[in-house]
Amino acid sequence: MKKSNQNFLLILVSQIFNTFASILFNVAIISYVYETTSSVAGSTLVLVISTFATIVGGFMAGNVLDKIQHKKVMFLSDVFCSITILGLAITVSYIGLNVYLIYITTFIINLISSFFLPARSAIVPSIVNKIDLVRANGLLVSTIQIVLTAGWVIAVPIVSIFGMPLIIYIICLGYLFSGLLIKYLNVKHNVAIEDSKSSFFLQFIKGVTPIWNNKVVRSITIMDAHETFANIIWVPTFLLSFTIEILNSSEEWWGFQGAAYFSGLIIGGFLSAKYSDKLRSLGGKVLIFSSFSVAFITFAYGLNSIAILAVVFSLLVGMPHQMRNVLQESLIQEHTNQAVLGRVFAARRVILQMFYALALILGSLLADKIGVAQVFIIGGVIYTLIAIYAISSPTVRKFNLTKIDKVGDKD
C-alpha cells in the first residue's frame, strides 16, 4: 500500500471532514426541530426525509457514476453541500430560520451526499492494491466510526456553545475542506461502455443486473436486505425504549450502550485490518460466524434485564457486525468490474435503503403492539435464519477473496 498511501490518506482525511460536517448538521437540525416543535414525530421526520432523499439520490447516482470520474463526483458532492449550507446561512440572515427551511435543506444535503459514499467505495480499488483491500476498508471504517463516536460526544456542546448561525458556517467549511482534499487525488477512472442516454431507472436496473448475475454478490445482498429487518433494533430509538421499559434504567445507560456499540464497530474494523489475510482466505466462514454470533448476542440482549450486561452485549455485537461489513465491501470491490463499480454500489444502497425504510415503519408499529423486548427476540430469529441460509449455501460457504470472478465483465 506504500505507493497509494498518499491517495488513501487524502481519502481518509476527506472522509473525516465530511463525516464530522454531517454529524454537526444532524445534531444542529434535530436539536432545532425538537426545540421548535417539542415533538418526537417532528424530529423523526428528519430521519424519514433523509432516507427518502438517499433513495432518490441512489437512483440518480447510478447514472452519474458511470459517466463522471468518481473523484469529480466526490468533489462536486462536497462543494454543492457547502454551497447549500452557505445558502442556508444567507437565507437565515435575511428571513430567519424555520422548520420547513430545515426540512428542505435536509432533503437537499442528503440527496447530494448520496453520491459521495458509492463514489468513495468505488474509488478505493483504484488507489489500493487488491491484496490490501480488506486492510484498507478496515482502517477506513474504523476511522469513520471513531469520528462518529467522538463526533456525537463533542457536537452537542459545540452546537450549544456556538449556536445555529455560527454552526452553519462551520459545517460549510467542513464540507469545503473535504472537497479540497479530494481535488488532490491522483486516480484513473474506467468508464463503462454503455448507452449514456439511458434513463435513471434503466441505469438503476443496469446496476442491479451485475449484482444479480454474480452468485456471491447476489447472495450477500439478499442476506443484507433481509437482515435490515433485524438491524433496526440497534438504532437509538429501539435501544432507548428497551433501556427505559425493560432495563428500568435512565437515559444515561442508553448513552453507554450507544458508545459501547460504536466501540465494538471500531474494534471490529481494526481487527479486520490486522487480520486481513485471514479474512480474505476464510471468506464465507467469517460471514457465517458473524451471522451466528450476532444472532446469539441478540437473543442474549433481548432476554436480559441488567443494564451493565446490556452494555457488554452492545459492545460484543458491534465487532462481528463490522467485520462482516468490511469483508462484504471488499468482496464487492474485488469481484466487480471497476467500470461499473459505482453503479453497483449505488444500486445496492438504494435496495438496502428501501428495505431499511420499510423495516423502520414495520418495526416501530410492532414494538408498540407487542413490546420492544419481543421485537429483539424476533430480530434474533431473523439473524438465525440468515445464518442458516449462509451455512446452507455453497456459494456463501465456499467463497474467499483469492479467486476473482468479475461482476459486469463481458462474456
Residue 98 pLDDT: 78
What pLDDT shows up at residue 404? 46
**116 residue type, one letter:** F
Helix%, strand%, coil% for the chain, nearest 5: 85, 0, 15
Sign of the Cα pseudo-torsion (372, 375, 379, 380, in order): positive
Identify whether the C-beta of residue 410 lies closer than 8 Å to the C-beta of residue 339: no
> Could you give the count of Cα atoms lying within 13 Å of 60 in the half-sphere of its Cβ?
15
Backbone angles phi, psi at 407, to 5 degrees: -75, 130
- The pLDDT value recorded for residue 153 is 65
> pLDDT (tens digit, 0 to 9) for every residue of the chain, 411 residues total?
444 578 888 888 998 999 888 888 877 877 777 677 665 455 567 777 887 888 888 777 766 776 778 888 889 999 999 999 988 888 877 777 777 888 888 899 989 988 888 888 778 877 777 777 778 878 887 787 788 777 766 776 777 777 777 888 889 999 999 999 998 888 765 554 455 555 556 666 666 777 777 777 788 888 888 888 888 888 766 777 788 888 888 767 877 887 788 888 888 888 888 887 888 788 788 888 888 999 999 999 999 999 999 999 999 998 888 888 888 777 777 777 666 777 777 778 778 878 887 887 788 778 878 888 898 999 999 999 999 988 888 877 777 766 544 444 433
Helix (H, G, I), strand (E, B) or coil at 401: coil
| Helix runs in 184-246, H state only | 200-213, 215-231, 236-245
Structural contact between residues 287 and 397, judged by C-beta atoms closer than 8 angstroms: no
Burial (0-12, 13-18, 19+ Cβ within 10 Å), 326:
buried
Q: Looking at residue 410, what is its pLDDT? A: 39
Residues with Cβ within 8 Å of residue 389, at least 6 apart in sequence: 222, 223, 396
Query: Could you give the CA distance from residue 154 to residue 24 in angstroms, rounded to a whole number?
Result: 9
Query: For residue 298, what pLDDT is reported?
Result: 92
* Contact between residue 259 and residue 149 where contact means Cβ atoms under 8 Å apart: yes
| C-alpha–C-alpha distance, residues 64 and 358, integer Å | 26
Report the SS3 class of residue 114: coil
pTM for the whole structure: 0.69
| DSSP-derived secondary structure letter, 32 | H
- pLDDT recorded at residue 117: 82
Q: What's the burial of 199, exposed, middle or buried (CB within 10 Å: 0-12/13-18/19+)?
A: exposed
Task: Count Cβ atoms below 10 Å from residue 319 Cβ, excluding itself.
Answer: 24
